[in-house]
Amino acid sequence: MIPPAALESRFATRERDPRPDAGPRLETVYRPRRPLNLFATVAVFQRGPGDPAQAFADGMIWRATRTPEGVACTALRQMPDGAVRAAAWGPGRAWAIGQVPALCGALDDDDGFDPSGHPLVEDAHRRYPGVRLGRSDLLFDALAQAITEQKVTLQQAFGAWRSLVTWFGERVPGPTPRPMFAPPTIDGWRLIPSWAWHRAGLEPPQSRTIVEAARRGPSLVRATLAASDGEGRDRALTAIRGIGVWTASETRIRALGDPDAVSVGDFHLAHQVGYALTGTRTDDDGMLELLEPWRGHRHRVIRLLLASGVSEPRRAPRLHMEDHRNR
């Protein structure tokens, strides 16, 4: 086991590690058939401004991923004509290049979606046609992200994700704007020592849930992907103690671009949806009732409501973040 002092040294020196050999670069141009706002579509995958696995710099989106074929660095830029130019480096570059259309929402099927049920939804659908639902197809990465965000502030969750991926992930090759790291392997998540979770600021219930999910990682991924609908995927994911509907929905949204996933249990979401659609707050049951006319596309409606910018002014007191780590 790596002692804490050694980990701190490792963390400090990794920023100075020589860039891995990038190898040959693969390139592609993706020409979407429908309007696409690349930034709005892919931004949902970034976990905070310091995310070691995704960054925005000089008009480009940079992603560090652990693909089934190895780590890869991908750079994406949208051209004036709407096309997306992409380049990828690393052993997983072919998989990453092949994933670009899905990441940009090419598989997002809005057949049967009728925005006319509410004027705000209709207006947002007309004003933001380029907001697509992309998918990473990296289910365990999305699950680990969602678990780190359980019942904490986003600032705490982003900090924990940043530390753990930088410490235990793998630096990707390519001309990245700063050192970037792909998340750990499933076994890598399982083998993170207990004190490292603590130093990253993650609570024991979250770390235990990630470790338990990693123990059953391959079978959990297979069972989730084999399910034919959202309810089946939820059943597969929530079979792990510590994973509830909120975590399952967030995983479905990021990994699979699920247009109907609703993150029940979110601290703010029900209030935001209620205020946008009725002008007053509501709870989870009220949110589900309001979204019922769009069943099959409920997450799509949520994304449009968030894009509209209509939200109730927040009145909750700021949460004072307590840090119990030994420094």
Whether 177 and 62 have beta carbons less than 8 Å apart is answered as yes
Q: Tell me the domain boundaries of the chain.
A: 19-127
SS3 66: strand
Burial 188-200 (b: 16+ CB within 10 A, else e): ebbebeeebbbbb
Nearest to 96 by CA among 70, 122, 126: 70
Tens digits of residue pLDDT in 96-130? 999 999 999 999 999 999 999 899 999 999 999 99
Q: What is the domain class of 19-127 according to CATH?
A: alpha beta
Please give the mean pLDDT across all residues of the chain.
90
Q: β-pairing, 70-78 with 181-182? A: unpaired
Q: How far apart are CA 234 and CA 230, in angstroms?
A: 6
Q: Looking at residue 322, what DSSP letter applies?
A: P
pLDDT band at 11 (very low <50, low <70, confident <90, very high): very low
Whether 13 has a pLDDT exceeding 80, the answer reads: no
Residues whose CB is less than 8 angstroms from the CB of residue 132 and which lie 6 or more positions away in sequence, other chains included: 32, 34, 36, 37, 41, 104, 105, 108
Nearest to 36 by CA among 101, 87, 93, 94: 101
Q: Is the dihedral of CA 267, 242, 248, 322 positive or negative?
A: positive
Whether 8 has a pLDDT exceeding 60, the answer reads: no
Chain centroid to Cα 221, Å, comes to 16
Looking at residues 146-152, what average pLDDT do you find? 92
Residue type, 33: R
Whether 131 and 301 have beta carbons less than 8 Å apart is answered as no
Tens digits of residue pLDDT in 168-184? 999 999 999 999 999 99
pLDDT in the model for residue 153 = 86
**H-state helical runs in the chain:** 4-14, 38-42, 93-103, 119-127, 139-148, 154-168, 186-190, 194-200, 204-215, 217-226, 230-238, 245-256, 269-278, 284-291, 298-308
